[in-house]
Chain A
Amino acid sequence: MKITRKDFLRIAGGSMLAAGGGKFVKTISAAAQAPSAGPGSKSAAKGGGTTAQRWGMAIDFEKCRKGCDDCIRACRLAHNVPQIPDSAREVKWIWEEPYEKVFPSQRTDYGRQDLAGSRLPVLCNHCADPPCVRVCPTQATWKRDDGIVTMDYHRCIGCRYCMVACPYGSRSFNWFDPRPYIKPVNSQLPTRTKGVVEKCNFCEERLADGLLPACVEACQQKALVFGNLNDEGSAVRQALRARYAVQRQPELGTGPSVFYLV
């Protein structure tokens, strides 16, 4: 069999294209399948947290007692959250807001009178699609596989993009050294320093030990229900099945993991 020069070039070129094309397709498909997530995701799967988890909370309007701040005080103690009197500089993990501010779009002319003016505990919603994570330029904040939006204070440069991005005001900046405002100090856990942003972490260190978050544990009314939103038998899913629940500004598409039982 005689091959002309033209045939030889044709066959050689064609086989090179085929080999290269196969590799290209393989790389593309591998890239598409790989999980596109920050450093947190790989780890949590490795380090004990199951991927089938999404921690969430339900806050019961009916049970939450007026004037009670057990959850807030427990949080301050658990995480060395400073109490700064200046409201422009204060640091908030879980705090109180008037109903109208928690649900600004739910205002009705003749709504339930007992809700108007009442104050509700609010905290980080640990969104399914957290805007704060998307804007962080240093990946100092990320969403773990168990749904917790957490912070690496070592990496935070204090740019405050996340504070601008968060529609719930759940992030606070340390304008000065918070230590003088922390009383009493929990010596087991670190404080924060001047120039970093901080936020609620759903008590990830307590969850790792199999404990409930400090605020949930401190609530004597059992108004805070915590659990795995992906587990149909969990306490939080049972509460959500039994009652009408609302999220804060769900129209923004952030997918909050904190629900309010009306």
Chain B
Amino acid sequence: MRDRLLIFSGLLVFVAGAAFPMWQGIAAKTSTRGPDLKLPANQKACVAPRSYMRAAHMQLLIGWRESAVREHRLRYTAYDGKSYKVSLTNTCLGQCHGSKEGFCDRCHSYVALSPPYCWDCHQDSSSGPATMASATAAGRTP
């Protein structure tokens, strides 16, 4: 048993090395908790079951895009028979999720996905329509 010290210190180094991901996680202060989403306050159900939306919201959105832009079908009938206007800004955000920052972005950044380029054109707030009066005011100011 003269090698006891050597064996145990070797074992210790091995365990420490094997557990490296855990040490690293603790050091970087990560947690196993999911993203902290801001859930819709006044809506319980989405246009599709939650599990489907989690897995396939991108397919649903592409389908909405094709049907609205190319086929000009502006209403979507959900699985429960409810009818929704096909609109990312006004329905997804405006009616339900509120803001992209509190919902879309948090999950996307949690899974280290770059935000999709939807938002280069689509607006992430639906704070009400601009009016002709405000346009006139802005148009006349030099």
Chain A interfacial positions (CB closer than 8 Å to B): 39-40, 42-44, 46-49, 73-74, 76-77, 144, 152-154, 177, 183-194, 204, 208, 218
Contacts and interface: CB of A to CB of B under 8 A. Distances in A.
Contact of A218 (B126, B130, B132): B132
Nearest to A145: B72
A190 B121 contact: yes
Nearest to A46: B71
A154 B70 CA distance: 10
Nearest to A83: B139
Contacts of B69: 152, 154
Most A CB atoms within 10 A — which of B71, B122, B126? Answer: B71
Nearest to A193: B120
B125 interface: yes
A77 B129 CA distance: 10
B117 interface: yes
A183 B138 CA distance: 7
B28 interface: no
A247 to B, nearest CB: 27
B108 interface: no
Nearest to A186: B130
Given A74-B135, A192-B121, A193-B121, A187 B127 contact: yes
A188 B93 CA distance: 11
B126 A73 contact: no
B132 A77 contact: yes
29 contacts: A39-B70, A39-B71, A43-B71, A43-B73, A44-B72, A46-B73, A47-B72, A47-B74, A48-B72, A49-B72, A73-B135, A74-B132, A74-B135, A76-B135, A144-B72, A152-B69, A153-B121, A185-B130, A186-B130, A187-B125, A187-B127, A188-B89, A188-B90, A188-B126, A190-B122, A191-B121, A191-B123, A192-B121, A193-B117
Contacts, number: 72
A188 B72 contact: no
A204 B132 CA distance: 19
B123 A187 contact: yes
Interface residues of B, number: 26
A83 B83 CA distance: 37
Given A47-B72, A73-B135, 6 more contacts: A74-B135, A77-B130, A184-B135, A186-B130, A190-B121, A193-B121
Contact of A73 (B70, B122, B123, B139): B139
A40 B130 contact: no
Interface string B39-59: 000000000000000000000
A48 B75 CA distance: 11
Contacts of B123: 185, 187, 189-191
Interface string B17-34: 000000000000000000
A188 B85 CA distance: 13
B16 to A, nearest CB: 50
A211 to B, nearest CB: 13
Interface string B62-87: 00010001111110000000000000
Nearest to A183: B138
Contacts of A47: 71-74
A153 B70 CA distance: 11
A27 B125 CA distance: 52
A184 B128 CA distance: 12
